[in-house]
Structure 1
């Protein structure tokens, strides 16, 4: 990359240009000139993006002024409304904003012009039908909530004359209609055993797996964990969960979770002032994103030769294991930090051995 920067500087001098004259168009011309000169290995436009971004952040190259389109302006107002009026978290605003952008792009264009004022209930139905064909029932329900939020915003700000929020149809998906997928205790342990405990990445990934498998933490809760959330004297950990809730969980005995955290914090974690527990291993170092937890679990599955699962499957496996060992639904709900005990009751369906004991035989047949 330093060599690329040097070549750009020489090209600018040959063209009689200053660094401030550099932009995407001139970079493409520079790359084209390199190919014409016979260079075999020339970076593409995407390879020059970090260089141009650095120069702009350093103030060497001016940032171009981009006039937002009507759609982008409306989306920015929607984002501000979600943050200031609704108090939504950054991740929720990102999800709602992505759905709003996709919906407006697909349904609010008329003859190439942005026309959200002409939206109808048929547009909502058409969008949801497409979404339901490619996502799960749970995700489709999320689309309903996201569309209703967008319709409420558009009506309150006079973009559409009618309250179309009520025209968003519900998605069929009944609670307790399915059995939560779980894993056997041995399969979870196999993931642990096949995770290396050496090296920066291995030690970090093992600590993440321990938090997910032993404490049932969600991906976002692992990413949000701060250094002062671990109370070593009391043997507790503060979990920042859904809905801005904060719960305290005891570190389990034996202290395998605590030992995994100590191994990461004492030797593998980058020496930075960041307060988040888990940081990226490659520069630029910073807090991990929630989706990295899924990558950690996926890599563990590949090493163990097991079917690919997500981190939430380990959370289900923890609940099922507690149930098999005699824990009540109230205790399981406290560990998983469910607000409603009815959510925890779903796990009562996974203990098939206990259910066989109370199942009544079909009339006229003997019990299996």
Structure 2
């Protein structure tokens, strides 16, 4: 009976998703060259989790653009980027919402997917464009960085080359331009910003030398930028705080079951936020009780799946994960429309909201990973085993966790000398005659 009830509830949910956009489209008067694309857009938005009211807003935006095009005698194949900008200028003058390119993104993506938008030739690539594009591809393929990280570093290099590259191109770069860029960055930016720019420039100079863009190694010009900070222990949260986080997840709700499974993966297996976001449905081997963790630098490693974590995943997949987005293969999906996979920022934001409900100070997702390392240190687990669980590839990274056991470190400390024990013989420490002190 439970399975039958679950089936009918899912069927009713799908029927509501399919009929919601249809009802919304009937309330919008459509005319012009875009009218025929309205039903397809409404159905697509419904599948992506948009509520009927949100679908109606998108259809009204489509109707406005369609009337604007009709008044100017424009067909769909004439909707260029310049025309879109013209429309947005007029809409901003008369409307108070949905007047940006971001608002038009669902419609433009739908039309682009149908292949009805004009194919615009990109502007000719400049030498700087080619150098930045090659560097970004190098970061993605050779260094294994995430697309967002590679794009951020490429943007820094574009800014550096635009402001400091000689007229002769990248091949004419010298240490003067590199040093000047870092000095200028330090005038009105924080030390962390200067360090990021210096690291990125050094990586680019190494890439340029290896690929022949420059004929000499200029990486030595990027002088290390140091910021004096106290040595901090990798302190996590207590077991009581972790239990409070889990208790703050309402497992009677869709979002609560998802958040509970995410927190267990972070706290019990020590996964990073990005690793939780990357977890695919095919990464879970239910038969052998294992999962594949897609870690840094494209390293895929297997880990055992504890029963507690596995049960939370089953609960989420069977009762909470949307079934109307078969194209999404990630385990965790964002609760708000549009239907999309969770990312690292979404996971961290979810942890912060859960901390507020639990009544504890907001913490980052990575502190749950630190907490697991500390628990293993207190349980006297050997450092190589901790490195294997946390998937550290540098032993020094794991060695940092040894510092958290303060009580055992006290036994290694040398007692501070007292007045009696610190008496020094004058004969043994006398300076030689004529010697320099």
Q: 2:277 matched to 1:220?
A: no
Partner of 2:67: 10
Cα distance in 2 for residues equivalent to 1:351 and 1:187: 19
Aligned pair partner of 1:359 in 401, 413, 427: 413
Aligned pair partner of 1:44 in 76, 99, 102: 99
Note the C-alpha offset of 1:62: 0.8
Cα distance in 1 for residues equivalent to 2:345 and 2:95: 37
Q: How do 1:186-335 and structure 2 match up within 5 A? A: 186-252=240-306, 255-271=307-323, 272=326, 274-335=328-389
> If you compute each CA radius of gyration, which structure gives the higher value, 1 or 2?
2
Note the C-alpha offset of 1:346: 1.0
**Deviation digits for residues 117-159 of structure 1 (CA, Å, limit 9, x no counterpart):** 443324333444637953659x93x655533331123234443
| TM-score in terms of structure 1 length | 0.83
Cα distance in 2 for residues equivalent to 1:126 and 1:305: 48
Q: 2:83 matched to 1:26?
A: yes
Partner of 1:109: 163
> What value does the CA root-mean-square deviation take over the aligned residues?
3.4
Partner of 1:58: 114
Cα distance in 2 for residues equivalent to 1:175 and 1:303: 32
- Flag the 1:83–1:186 CA change in 2: closer, same or farther, 3 A: closer
Moved over 6 A (4+): 111-114, 173-176
Cα distance in 1 for residues equivalent to 2:256 and 2:168: 49
Helix, strand or coil at the partner of 1:109: helix
Cα distance in 2 for residues equivalent to 1:199 and 1:76: 45
Gaps of at least 5 residues in structure 2 are 1-57, 421-437
Cα distance in 2 for residues equivalent to 1:32 and 1:101: 28
Partner of 1:345: 399
Between stretches 159-168 and 201-210, larger displacement belongs to 159-168
Helix, strand or coil at the partner of 2:302: strand
Q: How many residues align?
A: 357
Q: 2:135 matched to 1:74?
A: no
Note the C-alpha offset of 1:324: 2.0
- Flag the 1:100–1:15 CA change in 2: closer, same or farther, 3 A: closer
- Flag the 1:58–1:12 CA change in 2: closer, same or farther, 3 A: same
| TM-score in terms of structure 2 length | 0.71
**Deviation digits for residues 192-249 of structure 1 (CA, Å, limit 9, x no counterpart):** 2212223332221221111001110012221222223323333332222223333332
- Flag the 1:60–1:179 CA change in 2: closer, same or farther, 3 A: same
Note the C-alpha offset of 1:259: 1.6
Q: Does the aligned pair in 2 maintain the 1:213–1:315 contact within 8 Å?
A: yes
Cα distance in 1 for residues equivalent to 2:167 and 2:237: 51
Q: Does the aligned pair in 2 maintain the 1:108–1:119 contact within 8 Å?
A: no
**Deviation digits for residues 79-128 of structure 1 (CA, Å, limit 9, x no counterpart):** 344456x3x3250x642442233233235436997943443324333444
Cα distance in 1 for residues equivalent to 2:85 and 2:233: 55
